[in-house]
């Protein structure tokens, strides 16, 4: 199957020319040249840095939003509404806003990655906050645990699976969105 695809590719390359469809050999040669020059590693490192900054910022802000949602029901409602609005905004809208605000700089893909991954992380954390068993919190009160001890012993373990799930989905989105934002 692979050999057939290469034969068809080669034939189409001859028919339409290298400008329209480069031959398999020229693609492999170009890849080897790029790998040898080391250019690809510089660009890959820069892309991974932008992803790390955008996604890392989204995780930090998402954690803060989750904490605020835990502390207040009103704040939880506000966070949910904000997450809904952010989730309903298209990647391309954020890319256009980023280019208008930041131009073609490193900040455009960082901002776009942040804005797309933030609602995923925050939504999962708010769900995690909702899943905290209130009876465990009451039991913590009965044992006279302080707020910090209850938070560490009850809230963090209850919300951690939600955070991990949000980070997994968010990181996958971050990889895709950053590539699209860099190309734009």
Q: Express each pLDDT in 104-160 by its tens digit.
A: 888 999 999 999 999 999 999 999 988 888 888 888 888 888 878 888 888 888 999
Q: Quick one: 106 exposed, middle or buried, by C-beta within 10 A (0-12, 13-18, 19+)?
A: middle
CB 97 within 8 A of CB 143: no
60 pLDDT tier (thresholds 50, 70, 90)? very high
Mean pLDDT on 170-183? 88
Q: Are residues 149 and 87 in the same domain?
A: yes
Express as a percent the part of the chain with pLDDT over 90.
Answer: 46
User: How far, in Å, CA of 154 to CA of 140, rounded?
Assistant: 8
Q: Quick one: 99 exposed, middle or buried, by C-beta within 10 A (0-12, 13-18, 19+)?
A: middle
Q: Are residues 74 and 102 in the same domain?
A: yes
Mean pLDDT on 11-40? 88
User: How far, in Å, CA of 113 to CA of 178, rounded?
Assistant: 6
Express as a percent the part of the chain with pLDDT over 70.
Answer: 99
Residue 18 has pLDDT above 90, yes or no: no
Q: Are residues 103 and 152 in the same domain?
A: yes
Q: Are residues 64 and 50 in the same domain?
A: yes
Number of domains comprising the chain: 2
Cα angle for residues 127, 133, 135 (degrees, 5° grid): 155
Q: Are residues 69 and 114 in the same domain?
A: yes
Domain containing residue 89: 38-183
Q: Which residues contact 82 (CB under 8 A, 6 or more apart)?
A: 65, 119, 122
Query: What pLDDT, on a 0 to 100 scale, did the predictor assign at position 184?
Result: 67
Q: Are residues 140 and 53 in the same domain?
A: yes
Q: Are residues 10 and 63 in the same domain?
A: no
Top pLDDT among 50 and 155 is at 50
């Amino acid at each position: 199957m692979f050999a057939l695809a290469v034969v068809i590719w080669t034939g189409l390359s001859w028919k339409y020319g290298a400008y329209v469809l480069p031959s398999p050999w020229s693609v492999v040669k170009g890849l080897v040249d790029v790998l040898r020059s080391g250019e690809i590693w510089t660009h890959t490192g820069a892309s991974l840095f932008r992803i790390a900054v955008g996604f890392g910022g989204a995780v930090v802000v998402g954690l803060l939003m989750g904490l605020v949602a835990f502390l207040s029901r009103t704040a939880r409602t506000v966070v949910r509404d904000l997450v809904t609005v952010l989730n309903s905004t298209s990647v391309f809208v954020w890319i256009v806003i980023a280019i208008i605000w930041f131009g073609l700089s490193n900040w455009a893909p960082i901002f776009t990655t942040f804005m797309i991954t933030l609602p995923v992380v925050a939504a999962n954390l708010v769900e995690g906050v909702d899943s905290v068993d209130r009876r465990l919190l009451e039991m913590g009160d009965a044992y006279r645990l302080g707020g910090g001890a209850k938070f560490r012993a009850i809230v963090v373990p209850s919300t951690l699976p939600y955070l991990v799930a949000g980070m997994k989905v968010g990181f996958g989105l971050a990889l895709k969105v950053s590539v699209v934002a860099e190309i734009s």
